[in-house]
Chains A and B, each alone.
Chain A
């Protein structure tokens, strides 16, 4: 096929004997390589940490008429007015303060939400939100470290100091509530579908029962999975050591390698649990309640295992470059009005940070005209998942608080569990 052709190669050889050794092309290539190498060596990625927020930040801040709020889905009361879906508590807020709230359910998980706003904040731009709800943990600590959160103006939140539960005040992840106050808290425990699981679930070890082989769900994250694993092996995450982390990870890896775990889930475990793809799974308390409430005939169960469970807190905080920080403070104060806290608790069924809200829920129950409504309100008022009992509290553990140096170690121990 190939004709014999002395062609360009031969000619080039000939020329090579008579001409200079380096052609212009060679020089250009060498220059490009050098430039490339220079760029490789010269590059660096600046840290994302912003300058500190001035101490007199609040001094010249004026009230405004609007508020943009980034929130998780199904995390506030919902009502119908003239066929339109509204949030009664926010309607009340606008009535009291004349502030219009743009309520946006944009947070699906911390990874993607923080991933979206962080580059914006890094370039000194407003995120478009004045208030957001972030879960305590690696991300919240990171946002604070980066100086991306505005310290709260404590003089504008009297309701918090008056009505907040002692667990809401001075949490380990934000000493003195400098940057955050809790919105709601919840538990990471075990949920199961009684259609398939025919015995009561009581223990962390039930996630290792051969009867459920291949039907167990676990979380795919560096937060709930590790901390729940630690509680499961009898260690308080807050006091855990690297040794404990490795032991917990080994247990979880064993669970995976012996074929118990079907998959590691992010937010999407409710659907397989309802369909029977999963029988038993790690779960968030409020998710299960809301799934049952929104799907007729569904009866999923949530349990806090005897070893205990992990409690987390979603926190209200103000992102840097917020345009309406004063409105955000107004809402923070408003949310701690027990009557408002009751309105929200009746709907979302997570731990409320305002214990006196119970009184208003009982009042509402008394006033309820329908028997079913009354019963459900009474059930909420007595639910240990909304107003934790002493017995419940003793079984709940906080996330481990990690130093920036510990985070990579922790990640490298636990990530191989779910990224297998």
Chain B
């Protein structure tokens, strides 16, 4: 009797321990992946940003912090521009994506997945090719502007390509699905009875939207903002293909510093500054939204 009980206890505790270990084992591949491809490169990048030297003779660690101030003073225009573009693009994508996601989630009926597929369809074409198409669409004498010019709706020297407008349009187009999908997920989860209840309690449609739907989809908005704002701020393809003079973004600068000038230290310092700025921005934003735990909200 007694021995049987103690055996049972032992089996139970082993199983419990196994259960605890299983979680670690399951996390191991992902954890290793992150360690090898994220944490180590990150530390390396930080280290690199403090080095001095050149590409041919090598870089040595000198804790040369002034690289940070130097690069910021050289490239603050592009830095601020990238943040401004990212803010505009994020605002535009929310404006465009929210009604879209709402309509699909609430009124999509049985065709929901078809509509989602249509939104995702451009993803079946390479990012660069998609952006290149905008060069044709927005060309000075292309079919859009050419037609408008023929109709004398715009002046003959009006152009969009090589302007900030073109870059922002391209960015908005390319990152729109990243906003639609998280919004769709969070709106789709809403219980329609909440809206009915709001209606029963004499809330107008607008009130219901602002006080019920909107607050409940904040995690979706938060995820969408992270998935658009962060990559947009560091994008370099759109500025390269659609931009002109004075539309260079910080991503282009880092690209040139790293690959053309081989100034690894300066490129790393700028990358780190950008990352820091984005992280701080997101934490402030999370606080402003009243999200208690940033990680929880990001995980949706």
Point out the residue from B51, B142, B256, B263 that lies within 8 Å of A419, measured CB to CB: B256
Point out the residue from B142, B157, B248 that lies within 8 Å of A214, measured CB to CB: B157
A271 to chain B, nearest CB (A): 8
Whether A45 and B56, one on each chain, are in contact in the complex, defined by CB atoms closer than 8 angstroms, is no
**Measured between alpha carbons, how far is A262 from B59 in the docked complex, in Å?**
38
Q: Does B139 contact A (CB under 8 A)?
A: yes
Whether B140 and A222, one on each chain, are in contact in the complex, defined by CB atoms closer than 8 angstroms, is no
User: Inside 8 A of B246's CB, which chain A residues have their CB?
Assistant: 256, 420
Name B261's closest neighbour in chain A (CB-CB).
A411
User: Inside 8 A of B259's CB, which chain A residues have their CB?
Assistant: 111-112, 115
Whether A45 contacts B245 in the complex (CB less than 8 A), given A263-B162, A275-B140, comes out as no
Q: Does B203 contact A (CB under 8 A)?
A: no
Instruction: Give the residues from 47 to 72 in chain A that come closer than 8 angstroms, CB to CB, to chain B.
Output: 47-49
Q: Does B123 contact A (CB under 8 A)?
A: no
Whether A45 and B48, one on each chain, are in contact in the complex, defined by CB atoms closer than 8 angstroms, is yes
Whether B261 and A44, one on each chain, are in contact in the complex, defined by CB atoms closer than 8 angstroms, is no
Whether B58 and A44, one on each chain, are in contact in the complex, defined by CB atoms closer than 8 angstroms, is yes
Interface locus among B39-47, B192-200, B223-231: B39-47
Q: Does B219 contact A (CB under 8 A)?
A: no
Q: Does B57 contact A (CB under 8 A)?
A: yes
Whether A404 and B50, one on each chain, are in contact in the complex, defined by CB atoms closer than 8 angstroms, is no
A249 to chain B, nearest CB (A): 13
Whether B245 and A256, one on each chain, are in contact in the complex, defined by CB atoms closer than 8 angstroms, is yes
Give me 19 A-to-B residue pairs in the complex whose CB atoms sit less than 8 angstroms apart, sorted by A's number: A40-B50, A40-B61, A45-B48, A45-B58, A45-B59, A47-B53, A48-B55, A49-B57, A111-B259, A145-B56, A214-B157, A263-B243, A264-B244, A277-B141, A408-B54, A412-B74, A419-B78, A419-B256, A420-B77
Whether B248 and A420, one on each chain, are in contact in the complex, defined by CB atoms closer than 8 angstroms, is yes
Whether B139 and A275, one on each chain, are in contact in the complex, defined by CB atoms closer than 8 angstroms, is yes
Q: Does B60 contact A (CB under 8 A)?
A: yes
CB 8 Å contact bits of A255-266 with B (1 = contact, 0 = none): 010000111100
B72 to chain A, nearest CB (A): 14
Whether A42 and B58, one on each chain, are in contact in the complex, defined by CB atoms closer than 8 angstroms, is no
Name B53's closest neighbour in chain A (CB-CB).
A45
Point out the residue from B47, B60, B139 that lies within 8 Å of A39, measured CB to CB: B47
User: Inside 8 A of A44's CB, which chain B residues have their CB?
Assistant: 51, 58-61
List the 9 closest A-B pairs by CB distance, nearest first: A47-B58, A263-B244, A45-B59, A43-B47, A47-B57, A40-B47, A263-B162, A277-B140, A261-B245
Whether A419 and B253, one on each chain, are in contact in the complex, defined by CB atoms closer than 8 angstroms, is yes
CB 8 Å contact bits of B225-254 with A (1 = contact, 0 = none): 000000000000000000111101000110
Whether A49 contacts B253 in the complex (CB less than 8 A), given A276-B141, A420-B245, comes out as no
Chain A count of residues within 8 A CB distance of the other chain = 38
Q: Does A41 contact B (CB under 8 A)?
A: yes
**Measured between alpha carbons, how far is A416 from B76 in the docked complex, in Å?**
11
CB 8 Å contact bits of A228-270 with B (1 = contact, 0 = none): 0000000000000000000000000000100001111000000
Q: Does A142 contact B (CB under 8 A)?
A: yes
Q: Does A46 contact B (CB under 8 A)?
A: yes
Whether A416 contacts B46 in the complex (CB less than 8 A), given A44-B60, A46-B58, A275-B140, comes out as no
User: Inside 8 A of B130's CB, which chain A residues have their CB?
Assistant: none
**Measured between alpha carbons, how far is A277 from B256 in the docked complex, in Å?**
25
User: Inside 8 A of B56's CB, which chain A residues have their CB?
Assistant: 47-49, 142, 145-146, 404
**Measured between alpha carbons, how far is A263 from B138 in the docked complex, in Å?**
15
**Measured between alpha carbons, how far is A50 from B44 in the docked complex, in Å?**
23
CB 8 Å contact bits of A148-176 with B (1 = contact, 0 = none): 00000000000000000000000000000
B70 to chain A, nearest CB (A): 10
**Measured between alpha carbons, how far is A256 from B244 in the docked complex, in Å?**
10
**Measured between alpha carbons, how far is A295 from B248 in the docked complex, in Å?**
32
**Measured between alpha carbons, how far is A49 from B44 in the docked complex, in Å?**
21
Whether B43 and A39, one on each chain, are in contact in the complex, defined by CB atoms closer than 8 angstroms, is yes
User: Inside 8 A of B181's CB, which chain A residues have their CB?
Assistant: none
Q: Does B3 contact A (CB under 8 A)?
A: no
CB 8 Å contact bits of B193-229 with A (1 = contact, 0 = none): 0000000000000000000000000000000000000
